[in-house]
Amino acid sequence: MSVRRSYTAIVERNVLWDRDFATEPYEAAWASEAIFFVRALEVSPEFSGIARVQISADGIHWVDEGATMSLPTAKDAVTFCKVAHFGGWLRLYGELDDGASITVLVSLALKE
């Protein structure tokens, strides 16, 4: 019996987002499904924010995939977003309001 390959990459760890943000490009052409998990390690008071999934043909030029997710609003809270049929590269992108900040751990869970 063969099993489906899977891999989780920690694409950001203990990183502060306090204005425009983008996770590092991650290549995942081998995978057919993905979940971005965002865990808040710290958040500013009354924080709210949105992240958009972006895809790319080359890891350099990016376009919105259409999926969005609310970022967690409390310490240790987790939010997630599922994507499939995404081609070769994935990242999260977003813009935060002035004064809003969040320190994140972002996991990208991939599966064949």
Partner 1 sequence: MSAYSADPRLSRFDPLERVIFYDDFDEGIRGWSELIGNYEHTLDSMLPEYSDMRPPMLSNLTMWDTGTAGSMEGDYALKVASRARMGALATSIKRVTFRRRGQIQLECYFTFKPEASELRLSVNDVRAFGVLFDLQDGMNPEYRWMPHLRYHNAQGDEMINRWQMKSATRAFSKIGDSGETVSHYHLGPEHWEYIDAPVQTLAYNEIATKMNWHYLRINVDLAERRFLGFQCNDLIYDGDPLKYVSIPAMPNLNCMLNTLFWVETNRDKRAFLYVDSVLLSGEF
Please give the residue ranges that form the binding site for partner 1 (CB under 8 A). Answer: 5, 7, 9-11, 13-15, 24-30, 41, 57-61, 88
CB of 27 to partner 1, least distance (A): 5
Return d(Cα 92, Cα 53) in angstroms, integer: 5
Residue with smaller CB distance to partner 1, 26 or 47: 26
Is the Cα torsion angle 46, 19, 7, 28 positive or negative in sign? positive
CB of 37 to partner 1, least distance (A): 14
Residue with smaller CB distance to partner 1, 42 or 97: 42
CB of 26 to partner 1, least distance (A): 6
Contact 35/109 with Cβ under 8 angstroms?
yes
What backbone torsions phi and psi does residue 68 show, to the nearest 5 degrees?
A: -135, 160
Residue with smaller CB distance to partner 1, 58 or 97: 58
Return d(Cα 94, Cα 78) in angstroms, integer: 17
